[in-house]
Amino acid sequence: MEPDSKKTITRLRVLVVLAFLIYAPYYLFWRLGTLNPEAPFFSWLIWGAELFGYLTAVLHIFMVSRLTSPVAVTPPKDLTVDVFVPTYNESVNLLRHTLLAATRMEYPHQTWLLDDGNRPEMAALAKELGCRYLARTENTDAKAGNLNNALTKSSANFVAVFDADHVPHKDFLNKTLGFFRDEKVAFVQTPQDFYNLDSYQHRRHRRLSYIWTEQSLFFRVIQRGKDRWNAAYFCGSCAVLRRSALDDIGGFATGTVTEDLHTSIRLHKKSYKAVYYPESLAFGLAPNSVRAFLLQRLRWGQGAMQVWRKEGILFARGLTFPQRLNYLASVLTYFDGGQKAIFYLAPVVVLLTGVMPINANGKDFLLHFIPFYLLVFWSYEEAGRGFGGTLLTEQYNMARFATFARATIGGFGRHLKFRVTQKINVEQDKAGTVIPQLLVLILSILAIAVGTWLWLSKSYLTLGAFWANIIWASINLGLAGSVVRFTLRRKHRRREYRFPIPLPAFLGKSDGDKVLGLVHDISADGCSFITEKPIAAKRTVSGEIFLPSGRMPFTASISHYLESATPSPGSRDATQEFGKRTPRQKHEYGLAFQWKSADDAAQLENFLYGSDLQWRILDLHEGVTTPVAWVVALFTHGKLEKFSTITPEEWLPVIYHQIRKGEQQDKFGVLSRSDWAHKLARLIIFESVPNASHIELYIFGHMPQDRVQGEIVDLQKMPTTSAEIYVAKVMLKHGGPQ
C-alpha cells in the first residue's frame, strides 16, 4: 500500500475512534435518564455493564494508539547465553522437536532441559541431544521454581526461555540479543505463535487464505501498543532475559500461577525496560480441545487476580502512570466474563417477566443506541488494525465467559495450583465442556418461545421492546449455537499435527521401478502420498522425499488407500488453460513412517518445525481489510483488494530444468494447479533460480503431453530450521504442450 494511502487510513481511523470516545459518554449520560424506577437493581446492573465496557474500551484504545516496530541489530559476540526448556509431564517426542531446534540456534549457547518430572527418559533425551539436564525432586513454586533452580546452576549473562512445545527458529538469538546493547533492557519478548492451525483457538476460512486465531490481536497489536509505553510483558516463553535484572528482583516471581506477568511487573517496578520484537521466531502447540483451552485461560485469569492482589497495579510504586493503565487493562480483561453473562441473561429476564431495565420511547432509544452500538464495533475493528475479528471475537467471548467469571471470583485465593496445559487430546469434546453455552442456548430459545406467547396473549411489552429483546436473545442464541456446534463437531484424529506442505517424492514399486508422486499432510508420524500410477498392495513400502537438505529415504506402512478421478474438463474445478484434457485417476495412500531410530526422523522434523513455512507457501494471513481501509482502497485504486485464494488442494509434482546452453540437469519441484492462462503459477523448488530464467517443465498428473515452458517472474527465499526452500512465480507459455 502506498504511503499516502496509509496516512489517509490512519487519519480516518483516528476520526472513527474519536467519534466513539466522544459519543459514548453522551450515550451513557443519556441512559441515566432512562433507568426504570420500578426495577432499579436490574436497570443499574445493565447500565454498569455498559459503563464497564466503555472504560475497558478506553483503556484498550490507550494501549494501542501507536504501535512500535523495533528493528533487530547485530548482537555483540561475547555474550554468554543459556537456553532453558522447562518440562513437567510433556512427551519425549514433543521435547525432541524443541530441543533439536534449540541446540541448532546459530548464536553460541548452551541448552538446558529442566525436568520437574524427574524422568529417566528425559535424562536420556538430554544426553542424546547434547543438552544439560537438571531435575528436581520437589516441585516447589512450579515453573517459576524450576527456572529459579536452574538460575542457581547457570552462570550465563542471559537466559532464553521456551516452553516444552515451542520450537525456536535458528535466528532467534541473533535477532533478539542485539537489543541488550541497552543496559536497561531486562527482557525481549517475541510473539507466541503456533504451528497447529487446526487447534481450538484457530479458525480457517474454507475458501480464502484467512486464518484467525484468538491471540492474533494480542500479539499483533496489543503487545506492540504496550511496547510504546514500556509495558509489554514477559509471556513465559519465546523470550530472552538479562540475568542481572532477574537477580535484582530475586529471580522469577513466585507465589502466583502466572510467573510471567508477575515477573514483568517486578522488573518494570525496578525501572527496567522491555522490548517487544514482533517477528515470529518460535512456533508452539496450541490446545486442540476446548477443555485444555479453557483451563489455560482459567489459569491466566486466576494468576492475573493474584498478581493484582500482590502487586496492587493501579497504586503500585515504581510503575509509571501509563504502565499502571496498561497492566490494569490486562487484568480487567477477565472481568468481561461477568459483563457478558449479564448481557446474555438480560433478554431472557425481560421476555419471561416483562420487566424492562430501560424506560424510554422505542424510537428515541434506537436513535441513541444504534449509533453507539455501531461505533463500539467499528472503533474496535479499526483500533485492531484488522486483527480484531469482531464476529469471531464475540464467539470466543461466549466460549470463555463462564471461565473468566470463575477466574475473577476465585482468582484471589492464596493456594491456587499451577496446572500444565494439556495441548494434545485425541478425544472428541463432550457436551459437558459447553454447559454454560448450552444454558444460554436453551434459555434463549425458551425466552423467545414463552415471551412470544406472553406478548401475543397479554401484550405485556411494547412492540418495540418486544422485538428489541427478541433480536437480542436471537443474537445470543446464534453465538451460543455456533460455539456448541464448533466445539462438538471437532474431531481430533491424530496426536501429531500434519503440515499442509506439498513435496515431491518417489515411492518404490514391487517390480523395482519408482513412481513419482506428491507428499502432503505430513508429520514425523506419516503423510499422504498421491500418484497417478497405483503401487502394488503390500504392507510396507519405501521411498524418498525431496527436502531442502536433500533426499530423505523412508520406510512406511500403508494405513489406507483411496482412488478417485481428477476433475473433468468443464467442471467447476477444472483448469482450461492448455487445451482439452480428460479425467485422470488419482491414487492416494496413507503412509505411517517406520523409523529405525529417532535420528532417522530428525531431517524431516528439522524441516517442518520452527518456521512459518506453511503460512508463506499457502499465502495465509491473519488480518482483514477494515471498513476504513476498504473505502480508501475503493477510492484510491478504483477497485478493492480481495483475499487471495488458498493455493488449490491439488499440487502437481514436476521435473524441470533451465533452458540454457549446456543445461540439461533435471530437478524436482511442485507446481500449483491453477488457472495458468490468467494467473501466475507457484513453483516450489530447492534451489535459487534467477528471475527471468526460462525453464522447461514435465508436469505429472495434468495432460496427456506434460511438457510446457515457462519464465520465472519472481523468486522468494523461505528459510527453515534446516535449509532454504524457494517459491517461484512462473508464467507458463500459452499455446499448448510442446
Domain boundaries, the chain: 9-65+335-489, 81-192+235-286, 503-617, 640-732
- DSSP state for residue 730 in the 8-state scheme: E
Q: Give me the pLDDT at residue 177, please.
A: 97
Mean pLDDT of the 155-181 span? 96
Over the stretch 295-326, which tens digit does the pLDDT of each residue have? 999 999 999 999 999 998 988 899 999 999 99
Q: In this predicted structure, what is the pLDDT of residue 560? A: 84
Residue 706 has pLDDT above 70, yes or no: no
- Cα end-to-end span (Å), the chain: 40
- Yes or no: is domain 503-617 CATH 2.40.10.220? yes
pLDDT (0 to 100) of residue 361? 79
Alpha-helical segments (H) within 162-311: 172-176, 216-217, 223-228, 243-248, 259-269, 290-311
Give yes or no for residue 1 having a pLDDT over 80.
Answer: no
Q: pLDDT tens-digit profile of 370-407?
A: 999 999 999 999 999 999 989 999 999 999 999 999 99
State yes or no: pLDDT of 573 exceeds 60: no
Which of 194, 227, 221, 215 has the alpha carbon at shortest distance from 71? 227
Which range is least confidently modeled, 170-174, 355-359, 549-553, 703-707? 703-707
pLDDT digits (tens, 9 = 90+) for 515-540: 888 998 899 899 999 888 787 767 88
Question: Which pLDDT belongs to residue 677?
Answer: 66
Which of 157-166, 203-212, 467-476, 563-572 shows the lowest per-residue confidence on average (mean pLDDT)?
563-572
Mean pLDDT, all residues of the chain: 87
Question: Alpha-carbon distance 63 to 13, whole Å?
Answer: 15
Cβ neighbors of 681 (< 8 A, separation 6 or more) are 671, 672, 674, 710, 729, 730, 731, 732
Q: Judge whether residue 78 has pLDDT over 80.
A: yes
pLDDT digits (tens, 9 = 90+) for 625-681: 889 988 888 887 655 544 444 444 568 888 988 887 666 678 899 988 766 667 788
Cell of 489: 463437531
Is it the case that residue 337 has pLDDT exceeding 70?
Answer: yes
| CA distances to 257, 264, 296, 302, 490 from 407, in Å | 12, 21, 11, 5, 26
Percent of the chain at pLDDT above 70?
88
- In this prediction, residues 214-221 reach a mean pLDDT of 94
On the question of pLDDT at 334 being above 80, the answer is: yes
Rounded Cα–Cα distance for residues 227 and 414 (Å): 31
Strands 132-135 and 110-115: parallel
Q: What angle do CA 305, 20, 405 make, to 5 degrees?
A: 25
Instruction: Quote the cell numbers at residue 369.
Output: 443506541
- Cα separation of 205 and 617, whole Å? 16
Q: For the chain, give percent helix, strand, coil, nearest 5.
A: 40, 20, 35
Asked if 611 contacts 723 with a C-beta cutoff of 8 angstroms, the reply is no
**pLDDT above 50 (res 581):** no
What CATH number does the domain located at 640-732 have? 2.40.10.220
Give the strand pairing for 158-161 and 239-242.
antiparallel
627 burial level (CB within 10 Å; 0-12, 13-18, 19+) = middle
Residues near 37 by Cβ (< 8 Å), separated by ≥ 6? 359
Residue 419 CA to residue 89 CA, distance in Å, equals: 11
Cα separation, 153 vs 459, in Å, equals: 75
pTM of this structure: 0.90
Superfamily for the 81-192+235-286 domain: Spore Coat Polysaccharide Biosynthesis Protein SpsA; Chain A (3.90.550.10)
Nearest to 386 by CA among 621, 641, 58: 621
**Which one has a higher pLDDT value, 569 or 582?**
582
Confidence at 582, pLDDT banded by 50, 70, 90: very low
692 vs 721: which has the higher pLDDT: 692
Mean pLDDT (whole number) for 199-217: 85
Q: Tell me whether the CATH fold assigned to 81-192+235-286 matches the one assigned to 640-732.
A: no
CB 230, CB 184: distance < 8 Å: no
Is the pLDDT higher at 713 or at 184?
184
Instruction: Tell me the three cell numbers of residue 40.
Output: 432499579
Which stretches of 459-577 are DSSP H helices? 463-489
